[in-house]
Amino acid sequence: MDLRTASIDRIRNGTFDVFIVGGGINGAVCAAALAGRGASVALVDRGDFGAFTSQQSSNLVWGGFKYLETYEVLLVRKLCMSRNRLIKAYPDNIKEIAFLAALDESSPFPPWLAALGSFAYWAIGNFRTHRPRVLRAAKIKSVEPVIDIEDVRGGIEYYDAYLKDNDSRFVFGFIRSALDVGAAAANYVELVEAHRDGSVWRMKLRDVETGDELSCTSRVLINATGPFIDGVNSQLGLRTEHRIVYSKGIHLIVPKITQNERVLAFFDDTQRLFYVIPMGARSVIGTTDTRVADPFTHVTEEDRGFLLGQINARLDLPQPLTAADVIAERSGVRPLVVSRDGDDQEHVDWTKLSRKHEIEVDEKDNAISIFGGKLTDCLNVGEEVAAGVTRLGVPLEKDKGTWYGEPARATRDEFYRQARLMKLDAMRHKRDVEPLTDRLWRRYGRRAFEMLDEIQRDPTMGKDIMDNADYLRVELHLAAGTEMITKLEDFMRRRSKISQVVSAETIRASAGIREVAEMLFGAEADAKIAEYFRGDGDGS
């Protein structure tokens, strides 16, 4: 029986301490935090885990330097502390990275003020990152020749962190941890209806893949549906003090702009910061901040034209970037929290709405709603929700901090030792790719030991599965059984980031795609490939 079927079987007619609707970062982190502390947990998402907002982020784990502009010092402090904790807990997945901000005549701050801000930011973050530095225009040119310094007055370099892989894989890590400690989690299962019956919640669910209906009960219900939170709450008859408004942001993925592993930061013509962020052999340009009413968005020609225009005006490229250079695009909405009774939405500067989260605990109906938030803030969300669940009468084991983070240093050292003895890194002949040992450990942690065994048993398992994508056959082999890949898109876009770094045409022409589908889906491979290229494998 596959992992998803087994999970659905456990959810069907099950009784849980906690039922979580929504498997983005907020739902996933709650599942890991609660199951890790002994609660019985069920989680469903009507799409794949991390397939809505949580796959559209900038992949940054940061304190939000730019929120100092709106004097949100407390929020920045909290986010900096979360960033520091995450860097410590995920040393191979979350890496500190330099942000080089070039300031020109139209920038809202002169370099000296930005420099002051960067030192304040460093201090707010308890000096845990590298020290910032101030750069003259000529120095900027020497460290990043790609930046056009004609109008640049100077700049600063400060430090934050980023996800080496991708946001949705980070989300899946929490789902996997929750599964490992007994949670039942299933993708493509929708919450259709839920109501209180005495002291329990009764849920009606639908398996989106088969149309089957199922039900279960729980003591507490957690609404972690991100942009859909208000609709779900009103359907469940829950009244809250907060609600959500949407801000759309897009990213464009293009061939690598700079060889340096550094984020480039610029103010756009509307005086909003945007970035060039490294993603392996690619660069990601973004983001934007547009008020929208509908959570379903896509990159319009205007969005694309705007970002390309802004970046071309600030770089010294042999040829300006055009739409033809765009390998992949991302578009999503930030669920921003506002108070229900206030009229904040109408009167404040839209781009200055806070990025904080709010957690409402409803003691009358034993429900918890998670509004807003950031990937960076995820550990706080897990802890605050755990406190809320305890208040609602579900006892939890003491928090020993074991529900998050990478395996212990000694386990890592042993993996590196075994990989060295079998000369794993020497199996790669491609230039410009990171060593296999680093990659496998970062992506799979303890599960990577199994991969070493498999490669030793069958060396073809150590070969790439598709040209242009850094994925070994053994990764697919393991993912098929442990990563609940229901559609080809789940693998191409979220468990891996292949469809973000390889163009759709190249994927279509690749012989490897068939082998990928066969390893994942066996006899259903053709149907899954057709679904993927039709675009209903979840929005390619």
Ligand X SMILES: Cc1cc2nc3c(=O)[nH]c(=O)nc-3n(C[C@H](O)[C@H](O)[C@H](O)COP(=O)(O)OP(=O)(O)OC[C@H]3O[C@@H](n4cnc5c(N)ncnc54)[C@H](O)[C@@H]3O)c2cc1C
Distance of CA 180 to the CA centre of its chain: 20
Are the CB atoms for 80 and 60 separated by under 8 Å?
no
- The answer to whether residue 155 forms part of the interface with ligand X (CB under 6 A) is no
- In the shown chain, the binding pattern of residues 55 to 74 toward ligand X, with x for contact by CB under 6 A and - for none, equals -xxxxx--------------
Return the residue of 25, 80, 98, 244 that touches ligand X, per CB under 6 A. Answer: 25
CB of 231 to ligand X, least distance (A): 8
CB of 167 to ligand X, least distance (A): 7
- When the beta carbons of 180 and 190 are compared against ligand X, the nearer one is 190
Per the structure block, which two tokens stand in for 440?
A: 């496998």
Please give the torsion angle defined by the CA atoms of residues 382, 386, 389 and 391, in that order, rounded to the nearest 10 degrees.
Answer: -130
- The answer to whether residue 464 forms part of the interface with ligand X (CB under 6 A) is no
- The answer to whether residue 76 forms part of the interface with ligand X (CB under 6 A) is no
Stretch near ligand X under the rule CB under 6 A, chosen from 15-23, 34-42, 264-272, 399-407: 15-23
- The answer to whether residue 22 forms part of the interface with ligand X (CB under 6 A) is yes
Q: Please compute, for residue 66, the number of CA atoms within 13 A of its CA located in the half-sphere on the CB side.
A: 17
Return the residue of 10, 16, 47, 173 that touches ligand X, per CB under 6 A. Answer: 47
- The answer to whether residue 369 forms part of the interface with ligand X (CB under 6 A) is no
Per the structure block, which two tokens stand in for 17?
A: 């301490």
Q: Does 287 sit behind a cis peptide bond, omega within 30 degrees of 0 on the bond before it?
A: yes
- When the beta carbons of 21 and 321 are compared against ligand X, the nearer one is 21
Stretch near ligand X under the rule CB under 6 A, chosen from 48-56, 97-105, 135-143, 306-314: 48-56
DSSP label of 202 = E
- The answer to whether residue 23 forms part of the interface with ligand X (CB under 6 A) is yes
Residues 6+ apart with CB under 8 A from 385: 30, 33, 34, 222, 359, 368, 370
Stretch near ligand X under the rule CB under 6 A, chosen from 11-19, 259-267, 331-339, 399-407: 331-339
Residues 6+ apart with CB under 8 A from 414: none
- When the beta carbons of 244 and 394 are compared against ligand X, the nearer one is 244
DSSP output for 377-441: GHHHHHHHHHHHHHHTT-------S-SSSPPPHHHHHHHHHHHHHTTGGGG---TT---HHHHHH
CB of 332 to ligand X, least distance (A): 4
- The answer to whether residue 278 forms part of the interface with ligand X (CB under 6 A) is no
Return the residue of 249, 278, 388, 405 that touches ligand X, per CB under 6 A. Answer: 249
CB of 360 to ligand X, least distance (A): 14
- The answer to whether residue 375 forms part of the interface with ligand X (CB under 6 A) is yes
- When the beta carbons of 60 and 451 are compared against ligand X, the nearer one is 60
Are the CB atoms for 214 and 207 separated by under 8 Å?
yes
The residues with which 250 forms a beta bridge, in sequence order, are 331
CB of 418 to ligand X, least distance (A): 34
CA separation for the pair 54, 174 (Å, rounded): 13
- In the shown chain, the binding pattern of residues 296 to 315 toward ligand X, with x for contact by CB under 6 A and - for none, equals --------------------
CB of 21 to ligand X, least distance (A): 5
Per the structure block, which two tokens stand in for 129?
A: 């990152």
DSSP label of 460 = G
- The answer to whether residue 287 forms part of the interface with ligand X (CB under 6 A) is yes
Q: Where in 511-530 is the site for ligand X (CB under 6 A)?
A: none
CA separation for the pair 184, 40 (Å, rounded): 8
- When the beta carbons of 90 and 471 are compared against ligand X, the nearer one is 90
CB of 198 to ligand X, least distance (A): 23
In whole angstroms, how far apart are CA 92 and each of 89, 320, 407, 410, 476?
Answer: 9, 35, 10, 14, 21
- The answer to whether residue 54 forms part of the interface with ligand X (CB under 6 A) is yes
- Look at residues 96, 90, 238 and name the one whose alpha carbon lies nearest to residue 158: 96
Q: Where are the beta strands (DSSP E) in 407-535?
A: none
- When the beta carbons of 118 and 297 are compared against ligand X, the nearer one is 297
Q: Residue 323: helix, strand or coil by DSSP?
A: helix
Q: If DSSP states are collapsed to H, E and C, what string results for 116-134? A: HHHHHHHHHCCCCCCCCEE
- The answer to whether residue 332 forms part of the interface with ligand X (CB under 6 A) is yes
Stretch near ligand X under the rule CB under 6 A, chosen from 122-130, 173-181, 369-377, 412-420: 369-377
Stretch near ligand X under the rule CB under 6 A, chosen from 35-43, 135-143, 237-245, 372-380: 372-380
- When the beta carbons of 266 and 471 are compared against ligand X, the nearer one is 266
Return the residue of 51, 220, 245, 257 that touches ligand X, per CB under 6 A. Answer: 51
- When the beta carbons of 155 and 227 are compared against ligand X, the nearer one is 227
Q: Where in 184-243 is the site for ligand X (CB under 6 A)?
A: 190-191, 224-228, 232
Residues 6+ apart with CB under 8 A from 184: 7, 10, 11, 14, 16, 41, 42, 43
Where do contacts with ligand X occur on this chain (CB under 6 A)? Answer: 21-27, 44-47, 51-54, 56-60, 190-191, 224-228, 232, 249, 287, 332-335, 373-376
